[in-house]
Structure 1
Amino acid sequence: MLLTKQERLQELEAQYKDCKKCSNLYQCRLDSKIEDEELGNTVFGTGNLNANILIVGEAPGLEEDLTGEPFVGPSGKMLDKLLHQVCLISKDSPRTEVLYTTNVVMCRPPSNRKPTKDEITNCWKRLCETIYIIDPLIVLLLGNVALSAFFGDKKKITSSKGEMHTVEIPGMFGPVRYPAFPIFHPSYLLRNPSENKKDGPIVSTILDLQKMLASLDTFQKIENKIDIPIRDITELREG
């Protein structure tokens, strides 16, 4: 009997729930558990299992560790603000109901540092299987860590953002390719506030997301025979 997407993801999450591949990250989970029994969690992913867009971030932070869900802290609020600006989500249709969100690694690194190459490698199979199960039309890569997880040092976020790329992951019958669209990580935007600057990174990221949506509309027309909607998002929205 074929398993549903939910069953396949539950099986995958169960395989990695008590993962010990990364000694530093595992020790960090144990130490966090001693400080607060609600900490020390792996953060797998959450959202719409039939999402057209799958978001890949960097690693969980403190708030994500506490809740077991990705992007619920300050970076998550910034991400939702961006997605709201381009009408991808709304109060009635939040990110968890529209998109699927995960990270390059499942464990919070010590002192919220960036994950190492070995840690990224150890979590790579889990990330690929998650993408393969969700099977999105576009993989949205947030920041340099997510970009380098797929491309190594060949691409940098400053020169690659706002353009469509192709990522390749293992599939059941061979490699599978997905369109991938990199943008600045929300944490970078929080460190570089420039909301009112037309040439700043926040406005630039909103324009990049609009560009991604144009590609998504085309993909949906080809894949699902859905008419391309009329989008007129020329100014920053309030709220």
Structure 2
Amino acid sequence: MSLVLDDRRRAMLAEMGVRLFEAPSAPPAVAPAASAVSLAPIPPAPEARPQPAPSESPAARRVPVPQDPARAAAIEAMSWDELEQAVAGCEACGLCASRRNTVFGVGDRQADWLIVGEAPGENEDLQGEPFVGQAGKLLDNMLRSLGLDRGNKVYIANVLKCRPPGNRNPDPQEVAQCEPYLRRQVQLLQPRIILAMGRFAVQALLGSDEPIGKLRGRRHEYMGIPLVVTYHPAYLLRNLPDKARAWADLCLALELMRGNAAA
């Protein structure tokens, strides 16, 4: 499916530094694999073998961490307000000791698009909102190139709701504690498309160790919802040539979203 771009979208693409080209077509879909309950932390996972040093590619190994069924069930029964309060008061992992603010999410709660990032950075921790600063500006430009914005038909969230100290990579145990919150956000939103931005967002949603370069360009699913993998805006700011690939990912996401809406 080709996209007809008006002058405004062409201007936004020029601002992103992207040359226009035909969006790739998507291959066939791949099938995806209350009483009060304590939200106590999940017990730490058994000691695992040492993990490889973090790097942009290939991705670090994702170590499975046991889930607490009672805690997950309690979160799954929460309303939007209850979920936001639970995140604000969460002390399930050590990140609560160093955070300034939790970063729950922002946007339209009737959204067609769910944008999932990795973890809050310094600016997000200060403001309590995902994707601010220069990376947030680039994301806003990317959304505007599709006629979208973060307050209209778009919801933005992170895998982690608290900033890791020094913007270090998320720990598997921290991801496990936050995963039920993100799952509940997806259940409440029921978006038509999910755009996973960055290595750890992809790992958390797909449970894959493959680098982004091998996962992008095709349809995935999370909780039965079409999902597209792309680069994090902070990465794109350091690797300008990959903006063209990110634009192709946006085109694929738009194509799948429209197909999902028509189904």
Q: Which category describes the TM-score, using the shorter chain as reference length?
A: 0.7 to 0.9
Matched with 1:26 is: 96
Q: Which of 237, 249, 256 pairs up with 1:190?
A: 237
Deviates more, 1:184-193 or 1:121-130: 184-193
Letter in 1 for 2:151: T
* Cα distance in 2 for residues equivalent to 1:98 and 1:162: 23
- How is 1:70-81 mapped onto 2 (pairs within 5 angstroms)? 70-81=130-141
Letter in 2 for 1:46: V
Structure 1 residue 62: Cα displacement: 1.7
Letter in 2 for 1:109: P
Letter in 2 for 1:28: S
Asked if structure 2 preserves the Cα contact closer than 8 Å seen for 1:147 and 1:155, the reply is no
Structure 1 residue 123: Cα displacement: 0.2
* Cα distance in 1 for residues equivalent to 2:254 and 2:226: 12
- How is 1:41-120 mapped onto 2 (pairs within 5 angstroms)? 41-85=101-145, 87-89=146-148, 94-120=149-175
* Cα distance in 1 for residues equivalent to 2:184 and 2:102: 16
Structure 2 SS opposite 1:136: coil
* Cα distance in 2 for residues equivalent to 1:140 and 1:22: 26
Structure 1 residue 161: Cα displacement: 1.2
Letter in 2 for 1:82: M
Letter in 1 for 2:97: Q
- 2:220 pairs with 1:165: yes
CA deviation map 1:109-137 (0-9, x unaligned): 10111211111001010000001000101
CA deviation map 1:166-215 (0-9, x unaligned): 123xxxxxxxx21111101111101112xxxxxx2101111221121111
Matched with 1:213 is: 254
> Greater relative contact order (Cα 8 A, min sep 6): structure 1 or 2?
2
Matched with 2:61 is: none
Letter in 1 for 2:147: L
Structure 1 residue 53: Cα displacement: 0.9
Asked if structure 1 preserves the Cα contact closer than 8 Å seen for 2:228 and 2:253, the reply is yes
* Cα distance in 2 for residues equivalent to 1:164 and 1:182: 8
What is the TM-score when the length of structure 2 is the normalising length? 0.68
* Cα distance in 2 for residues equivalent to 1:208 and 1:11: 34
Structure 2 SS opposite 1:181: strand
Gaps of 5+ in 1: 1-6, 30-39, 169-176, 194-199, 223-239
* Cα distance in 2 for residues equivalent to 1:145 and 1:68: 20
Q: Which of 234, 239, 244 pairs up with 1:203?
A: 244
Matched with 1:181 is: 228
- Give the share of equivalent positions with the same residue, in percent: 38
Gaps of 5+ in 2: 1-77
Matched with 1:122 is: 177
Letter in 1 for 2:243: I
CA deviation map 1:50-109 (0-9, x unaligned): 111111101111221222111122111111122222x232xxxx3222300000000011
Letter in 2 for 1:9: W
* Cα distance in 2 for residues equivalent to 1:98 and 1:52: 5
The structure with the greater share of residues assigned to strand is 1
Asked if structure 1 preserves the Cα contact closer than 8 Å seen for 2:109 and 2:155, the reply is yes
* Cα distance in 2 for residues equivalent to 1:190 and 1:56: 18
